[in-house]
A and B are shown apart, each in its own frame.
Chain A
Amino acid sequence: MALRMWASSTANALRVSCASKAHVSPAFSLSRCFSSVLDGLKYATSHEWVKHEGSVATIGITDHAQDHLGEVVFVEIPEPGGSVSKGNGFGAVESVKATSDVNSPISGEVVEVNSKLSEAPGLINSSPYEDGWMIKVKPSNPSELESLMGPKEYTKFCEEEDAAH
């Protein structure tokens, strides 16, 4: 947050104008708009979420991630039948000028992908935890879920990450 305030004021001094979607807070505001974090999900430090229901785990990127990335214009996801491994990339999202890797919080077999994202990539922005889900995986090692963060831990993680910057 501190760097963004510094960057914004310095940018103004140097007559640099930023995109309207830049995450710049008023210099002396004490309030912050927090991204949503849902109960019942587990979270990775790379800002993906997992919802484990029975033998299937659904994966997407968090509200924090989509907010920081900006408008998603293209999504790259694997075909069903492929495998993902914990901590490694399985796809990417493009947000105007940037591609950003999406990493799987767990290992397993991809059993379903969200085909709506090819025509409506913006679902990741408007509904990151529901309609914007990316892949469904059959976990190969369910104990990997235990090492992920819960909602409170992830909320604190995001606050600390934003405060450090």
Chain B
Amino acid sequence: MTISQTRNVGLPLMKLVRWKGVPILQQLHLEEQLLRTSSENWCIINDGANDPTIVMGISGKPAQLLKLDSVLNDRIPVIRRYTGGGTVVVDCGTVFVTFICNKDAVPGLQPYPQPIMSWSSLLYALVFRGFGDFSLRENDYAFGNHKFGGNAQSITKNRWIHHTSFLWDYEARNMAYLKLPARAPEYRVARDHLEFICRMKDYMPRSVFVDRTIKAVETHFSVRPVELEAMETNLNSKFPHSTKLLTEQELEAAAFESHFEKALSHSL
């Protein structure tokens, strides 16, 4: 047995899926299916989505969160995902890292939002050590007071998922689709998007981030890479996904309602 194999003895197994440019809708569909139908631990790293896409949390209301006229005009896809949390615009400059775990996978970790968030921050503290002033600011990963990673979770009876969208790079014009959210972390202090967020590429090389993330995961799990083809054949195409791509009709209805309410409030 090699030294690295010896070190992994006793660690729970985690299957690692490494993608590049897989559409975010496909990723979210796979994640939810693995959360609800698999009994194994998974790490999914998707290095870049494809086209710009807006992704809201489970309770997201387009009229409240998005500048719908621009979204409709530019035909930007809008997804409502199965996890909680806020709204992001993702594209090829976004790197996604997802952990799907059995509730007993991390010894001593209670399957509730804050303990999972804290545990994840300790893992990423290893990743970013020496590269920037990394911290968990409320529920965001930040360098100083600039957010570069947004988190969301879903917790079932026996499993949990924690996923992060990392802003490797972004287009300023894409951020313009988002309104200032009503619910925001205190440290944001009403800054608009471009003043609030930062680019990871200003802190570390992209490949270094992915490699160090995998190494950090290996301190908790025995990691086994899994090929995508093998993944696809295991998936049940009849699984009822909660994550939905909103239709143009739904977005137009939301825009109409928003205009109507604005007109109503002006007339009062």
A residues bordering B, Cβ < 8 Å?
A: 2-4, 6-8, 10-11, 14-23, 46, 68-70, 73-74, 76, 87, 89, 92, 94-101, 103, 161-162, 164-165
- Within 8 Å by CB of B117, from A8, A19, A103, lies A19
Contact across chains for A99 and B114 when beta carbons are under 8 A apart: no
Is B155 among interface residues, defined by CB-CB distance under 8 A? yes
Residues of chain A with a CB closer than 8 A to B157's CB: 46, 87, 89, 101, 103
Is B204 among interface residues, defined by CB-CB distance under 8 A? no
Residues of chain B with a CB closer than 8 A to A20's CB: 138
Give Cα A22 to B114, complex, Å: 6
Is B11 among interface residues, defined by CB-CB distance under 8 A? no
Residues of chain A with a CB closer than 8 A to B114's CB: 18-19, 21-23, 68, 70
Measured CB to CB, the closest approach of chain B to A6, in angstroms, equals 8
Residues of chain A with a CB closer than 8 A to B154's CB: 98-100
- Within 8 Å by CB of A97, from B109, B121, B135, B151, lies B151
Contact across chains for B115 and A98 when beta carbons are under 8 A apart: no
Residue in A6, A74, A96 with the greatest tally of chain B CB atoms within 10 Å: A96
Give Cα A29 to B127, complex, Å: 32
Q: 0/1 per residue, B110-121, Cβ < 8 Å to A?
A: 101111111101
Q: Given contacts A70-B113, A98-B84, are A18 and B118 in contact (CB under 8 A)?
A: yes
Contact across chains for B83 and A98 when beta carbons are under 8 A apart: yes
- Name which residue of chain A comes closest to B119, CB basis: A7
Is B39 among interface residues, defined by CB-CB distance under 8 A? no
- Within 8 Å by CB of B113, from A8, A76, A97, lies A97
Contact across chains for B115 and A97 when beta carbons are under 8 A apart: no
Is B57 among interface residues, defined by CB-CB distance under 8 A? yes
Contact across chains for B118 and A99 when beta carbons are under 8 A apart: no
Residues of chain A with a CB closer than 8 A to B137's CB: 17
Residue in A16, A23, A98, A162 with the greatest tally of chain B CB atoms within 10 Å: A98
Measured CB to CB, the closest approach of chain B to A143, in angstroms, equals 22
Give Cα A69 to B111, complex, Å: 10
Measured CB to CB, the closest approach of chain A to B262, in angstroms, equals 21
- Which 10 pairs across A and B sit closest by C-beta, in order of nearness? A3-B108, A74-B59, A98-B153, A98-B113, A97-B85, A68-B112, A94-B84, A165-B110, A100-B155, A14-B125
Is B139 among interface residues, defined by CB-CB distance under 8 A? yes
Residues of chain B with a CB closer than 8 A to A165's CB: 108-110, 115
Residues of chain B with a CB closer than 8 A to A2's CB: 108
Q: Given contacts A3-B108, A99-B84, are A16 and B121 in contact (CB under 8 A)?
A: yes
Contact across chains for A97 and B117 when beta carbons are under 8 A apart: yes
Give Cα A19 to B117, complex, Å: 9
Give Cα A164 to B183, complex, Å: 34
Residues of chain A with a CB closer than 8 A to B152's CB: 97-98
Give Cα A18 to B116, complex, Å: 11
Contact across chains for A98 and B109 when beta carbons are under 8 A apart: no
Q: Given contacts A10-B122, A11-B121, A98-B153, are A69 and B113 in contact (CB under 8 A)?
A: yes
Is B148 among interface residues, defined by CB-CB distance under 8 A? no
Residues of chain B with a CB closer than 8 A to A7's CB: 115, 118-119, 122
